[in-house]
Amino acid sequence: MAAGAGFLLDLGFGLLLLAVATFALRTRTTYAAVVGFVAFGVLLALVWFRLGAADVAITEAAIGSGLTGLLLLNASAMLRHTESAAVGLQTRLPVRAAAFVAAAAVAAGLAVAVLALPSPAPTLAPMAVAGAPATGLGNPVAATLMAFRATDTLLEKVVLLLAIIGIWSLARDELWGGRPGRRHEADPKGTLVFFARLLPPVGIVFGVYLLFVGADHPGGAFQGGTILAAMWLLAIMARLSDTPAIDGRWLRFWLIAGPAAFVLVGLAGLALGEAFLAYPQPFAKPIILGIELAKIVTVAVTLAMLVAGPPERPGNPHR
């Protein structure tokens, strides 16, 4: 009975995901497609949770759906003046047929690959669980990200830095060193300002909580950093704060703090004779928490600046 109910729930989620994905692809306006994408991400997070992957679920909800959705919304707002022209365009039939064939081939290939997996699928999970106590972390996902696959996690942070440089390089020459995004308008006695004063204390506590709880339970610096970034963006939108000029020293310091701490620890591991990113055993957990603390600020600042976009206003003239 219980298994049957679970199966019905999974079937419902699967059909709903397909329906929302179809909506997002078929709908005519970019804005509606982005709304469909966000709904798809939230549903996908629920599916990850059903699969027992709570860490992935939180990441999908915060970054896959929330942050990426916000970036896409910004992009769709910028494209609004080209929207009417684009809606009238009809791709030629051969192109659409080729796209259909390519997409169907990819889907079929993925289906074959998944169905051809031996059952039970090959997995390194038991090794990760067995090795986790050596790192002092109770959450094997955190142990994998911060110890067994630390190089991957380090390079992820570097990719984020490259993304920021890419966005900033879209600035017009005379605005280099200016402030990203436009200055937002907000009624100082309005709802948004009230909300932006009320929510950040709760959000900041929750973001830092996600970082610390991530050692032993689902969570981590990336998820926590996303929430901190959202709180900062909320204050910026309510005009309680402003985006910093992109040549500011503190901004640049925090943008590189996370990867820099990671690289320093990695080099120290090399110098002390073991290997790049080898943590000395008894101090593994404090070192990892130290990296994570630097990382959460870096993630928060990086993600907020990604959403804020390229500089659009002159910064401080005296700098």
Partner 1 sequence: MLIDFFSAALIGTGAFFFIAGTVGLLRFPDTLTRLHALTKADNLGIGLIVIGLLPRVADVWTAAKLVAVWALILLASATVAQLAGHSARREKGSR
Residue ranges that bind partner 1, judged by CB under 8 A: 190-192, 194-195, 198-199, 202
As given in the structure block, the two tokens for residue 16 are: 């709903």
- In the complex, least distance from residue 7 CB atom to partner 1, rounded to whole angstroms: 20
Say how far apart CA 257 and CA 214 lie, in whole Å.
20
Tell me how far, at minimum, the Cβ of 213 lies from partner 1, in Å: 12
- Of 151 and 191, nearer to partner 1 (C-beta) is 191
Q: Looking at beta carbons only, is 71 or 186 nearer to partner 1?
A: 186
Give the alpha-carbon dihedral of 108, 113, 118, 120, to 10 degrees.
-90
150 versus 234: smaller Cβ distance to partner 1: 234
Task: Report the residue number, 163 or 199, with the smaller CB distance to partner 1.
Answer: 199
CB 202, min distance to partner 1, A: 7
C-alpha dihedral sign at 231, 201, 211, 51: negative
Question: 302 near 67, Cβ under 8 Å?
Answer: no
Q: Which is nearer to partner 1, 152 or 216 (CB)?
A: 216
Interhelix angle 284-308/221-237, nearest 10 degrees: 30
**Residue 131, burial from CB neighbour count under 10 angstroms (0-12, 13-18, 19+):** middle
Query: Cβ of residue 209: shortest distance to partner 1, in angstroms?
Result: 11
Residue 290 beta carbon to partner 1: minimum distance, rounded to whole angstroms: 28
Structure tokens at 108: 């079929």
Burial of 202: CB neighbours in 10 Å, binned 0-12, 13-18, 19+: exposed
